[in-house]
Amino acid sequence: MNNFKFLLSLILAIIIITGCSYFNKLKEKLDYKNKKEITVQESKEPSYDDDIIFYNKYTDAINKLRESGEGVYKDYLRDIPVTSGINKNTLIIPVGLSLSVAGFERTLKEYKRSLFDSGELSKLKASEIMKNEVEPELKNLLNTMDEYYLIAKKVSDYYSDSEFKNDLSRIKPYDEEIKSAYVKYTEAVSRLSSALKKYKPKREKRDPDSFSNPDERSSELMIASYGDILDAAEEFYESFSKLKFKGNDNEALKYFREYERIFEQKKQNVLSAEFTEKTKFMKYNFEDYFSKTSDKFTASGNKFFSDYRNFKSEEVFKNKYNEVIVNYNYMVQSYNTSISSINSVMKIR
């Protein structure tokens, strides 16, 4: 009897020990799985770097969309005479307008697919507050540009196909439509730019001379120079974008002169600096590419301000204004390209 009790106790002990071991292992597996899931979830949270990437991609989108939209209006004003002077015998060759509208369609389609059809913009991560404020403004801009494009295409076809010769009654309404669409488009661009500007990453300024490695020193010099130039350009743009026909141009002119001063100062710094074989391309790129886009921007700006007080009509003002904006956008695009090339080669930031 005692042997039986002992045997029964032994069996129960084995069962208990085995069961505990099994449950401990099961618990460990569950804990590991939960920990793994938590780690994966945490890795999906947007980081500061995600915000920077989001900001840069949206900045690039704004620049390209603005370039397309401004180009259409610029070519409309250039190719189509003042409406009051058009008759059925007027020679109109709107080649520039037709090309701009076609380019506008391609750019618009590219960014609509990117945002609405699982493209690059739709996959960007950012902090919730940033994404919730900026992304709806881009959607609004794209929808506004849709309307702008349809009107611009209609107007372009009207003149390209010489329909105006058979029906002059649409000249004035079409002129009013495209100008109204342009105003709505510029307002949408302004709202998006203002929303995005709130989240502009603070530029980290580092002294190039603090780097002992010559390649790093050259790279930091270039990044700092480009950054100072762009800061001055953005100050100018913010003021210039508020300028109206027959308004006061003193503030915009002041920021424009400051841009010229900063650019020349940084240009001299770059051209007088030493570069190794690895980094010489940075100097050449600045001299042969970026500087040329800046020169075109300043040339159009100087022409604008020298003629500003003598503009006879708002159409002339807008035409010259748009020339400055287009050249400004080219300069900003060359800045983005230059910075990307430096970072991709040096991988320092």
Of 282, 298, 296, 279, nearest to 337 by C-alpha is 282
Instruction: Name the DSSP class of 200.
Output: P
Q: Are 107 and 68 in contact (CB under 8 A)?
A: yes
237: its two tokens: 């743009």
Q: What is the mean pLDDT of the chain?
A: 86
**Residue 10 pLDDT grade (very low, low, confident, very high; cuts 50, 70, 90):** low
d(CA 293, CA 285): 11
Of 199, 74, 64, nearest to 124 by C-alpha is 199
Cα→Cα distances 21→14, 24, 27, 29, 299, Å: 11, 5, 10, 12, 81
Mind listing the pLDDT tens digit for each residue in 121-142?
999 999 999 999 999 999 999 9
**What fold characterizes domain 206-349?**
Four Helix Bundle (Hemerythrin (Met), subunit A) (1.20.120)
Taking residues 52-63, what's their average pLDDT? 88
pTM, whole model, 2 decimals? 0.66
Taking residues 204-225, what's their average pLDDT? 88
d(CA 206, CA 49): 19
Per-residue confidence (pLDDT) for residue 299, from 0 to 100: 98
- The H or E element spanning position 333 is helix 314-346
- Alpha-carbon torsion angle 95, 96, 101, 107, nearest 10: 130
Q: Are 178 and 308 in contact (CB under 8 A)?
A: no
**What fold characterizes domain 47-202?**
A middle domain of Talin 1 (1.20.1420)
334: its two tokens: 């060359």
Per-residue confidence (pLDDT) for residue 36, from 0 to 100: 45
Mind listing the pLDDT tens digit for each residue in 233-281?
999 998 998 898 999 999 999 999 999 999 999 999 999 999 999 999 9
**Residue 39 pLDDT grade (very low, low, confident, very high; cuts 50, 70, 90):** very low
**Residue 43 pLDDT grade (very low, low, confident, very high; cuts 50, 70, 90):** very low
Residue 40: pLDDT over 60 = no
Computed on alpha carbons and rounded to an integer, the radius of gyration of the chain in Å comes to: 30
Residue 163: pLDDT over 80 = yes
Higher-pLDDT residue of 31 and 123 is 123
Taking residues 193-222, what's their average pLDDT? 87
Per-residue confidence (pLDDT) for residue 37, from 0 to 100: 45
Cα→Cα distances 155→169, 192, 219, 320, Å: 13, 27, 48, 21
Taking residues 330-337, what's their average pLDDT? 85
Residue 74: pLDDT over 90 = no
Taking residues 133-157, what's their average pLDDT? 98
